[in-house]
A = this chain, B = another copy of it.
Amino acid sequence: MDITSEISEDLLRIPFQELHDVLTSILLKNGFARDKAKTCAEIFVQNTCDGSTTHGVSRFPRFIQQIKNGSIDVQAGPEFKRAVGCIEQWDGHLGPGPLNALFCTRRAMEIALTGGIGCIGLANTNHWMRGGYYARMAASEGYLFIGWTNTMALMPAWGAKDKRLGNNPLVMGVPFAPSPLVLDMAMSQFSYGSLETKALRGEKLSHPGGYAADGELTADPSEILSSGRPLPMGYWKGSGLALFLDILAAALSGGSTTREISSRSTEYGVSQVFVAIHAASLSTENNLSEMIRSIVEDVRQSIPIDPNSTVRYPGEHVLRIRKQNDESGIPVDRAVWSEISLMQ
If A85-B86, A299-B243 touch, whether A305 touches B164 (CB-CB below 8 Å) is no
Tell me how far the C-beta of A199 lies from the nearest C-beta in chain B, rounded to whole angstroms. Answer: 20
Tell me how far the C-beta of A291 lies from the nearest C-beta in chain B, rounded to whole angstroms. Answer: 6
| Selected interface stretch from A5-13, A27-35, A273-281, A329-337 | A273-281
Q: Is A47 an interface residue, CB under 8 A from the partner?
A: no
Tell me how far the C-beta of A255 lies from the nearest C-beta in chain B, rounded to whole angstroms. Answer: 10
User: CB-CB contacts of A56-100 with B at 8 A, as 1s and 0s?
Assistant: 000000000000000000000000001111110100000000000
Q: Is A140 an interface residue, CB under 8 A from the partner?
A: no
A181 contact from B82, B174, B244, B301, Cβ within 8 A: B244
Tell me how far the C-beta of A211 lies from the nearest C-beta in chain B, rounded to whole angstroms. Answer: 8
A291 contact from B115, B243, B250, B302, Cβ within 8 A: B250
Within 8 A of B (CB), among A288-344: 288, 291-292, 294-295, 298-299, 301-306, 309, 311-314
* Copies of this chain present: 2
User: CB-CB contacts of A230-251 with B at 8 A, as 1s and 0s?
Assistant: 0001110110110110111011
A contacts with B: majority SS: mixed
Does the CB pair A119–B117 fall under 8 Å? yes
Does the CB pair A295–B161 fall under 8 Å? no
Residue in chain B with minimal CB distance to A211: B305
Contacts of A247 in B (CB 8 A): 174, 181, 291-292, 295
Q: Is A226 an interface residue, CB under 8 A from the partner?
A: no
User: In the bound complex, how far is the Cα of B212 from the Cα of A230, in angstroms?
Assistant: 27
A116 contact from B119, B181, B277, Cβ within 8 A: B119
Does the CB pair B234–A157 fall under 8 Å? no
Tell me how far the C-beta of A42 lies from the nearest C-beta in chain B, rounded to whole angstroms. Answer: 26
User: In the bound complex, how far is the Cα of B217 from the Cα of A304, in angstroms?
Assistant: 16
If A159-B309, A282-B121, A282-B254 touch, whether A302 touches B86 (CB-CB below 8 Å) is no
Q: Is A160 an interface residue, CB under 8 A from the partner?
A: yes
User: In the bound complex, how far is the Cα of B283 from the Cα of A301, in angstroms?
Assistant: 48
Q: Is A252 an interface residue, CB under 8 A from the partner?
A: yes
Q: Is A222 an interface residue, CB under 8 A from the partner?
A: no
Q: Is A272 an interface residue, CB under 8 A from the partner?
A: no
Tell me how far the C-beta of A165 lies from the nearest C-beta in chain B, rounded to whole angstroms. Answer: 7
A84 contact from B144, B246, B278, B295, Cβ within 8 A: B278
User: In the bound complex, how far is the Cα of B303 from the Cα of A259, in angstroms?
Assistant: 15
A-B contact pairs, 30 of them (CB 8 A): A82-B282, A83-B116, A84-B116, A84-B281, A85-B115, A85-B116, A85-B281, A89-B282, A119-B277, A157-B311, A159-B311, A161-B303, A161-B304, A162-B303, A164-B299, A164-B301, A164-B302, A165-B299, A174-B251, A183-B240, A207-B235, A233-B233, A233-B235, A234-B234, A247-B295, A251-B277, A251-B279, A251-B292, A252-B282, A258-B295
Supplied contacts A84-B281, A244-B314, A252-B282, 18 more A-B pairs, CB within 8 Å: A82-B282, A83-B116, A85-B117, A87-B282, A157-B299, A157-B311, A162-B302, A164-B298, A164-B301, A165-B299, A189-B235, A247-B291, A247-B295, A250-B295, A252-B277, A257-B291, A259-B294, A259-B298
Top 8 A-B residue pairs of the complex, sorted by shortest distance between their CB atoms: A233-B234, A160-B302, A85-B116, A85-B115, A84-B116, A87-B116, A234-B234, A84-B281
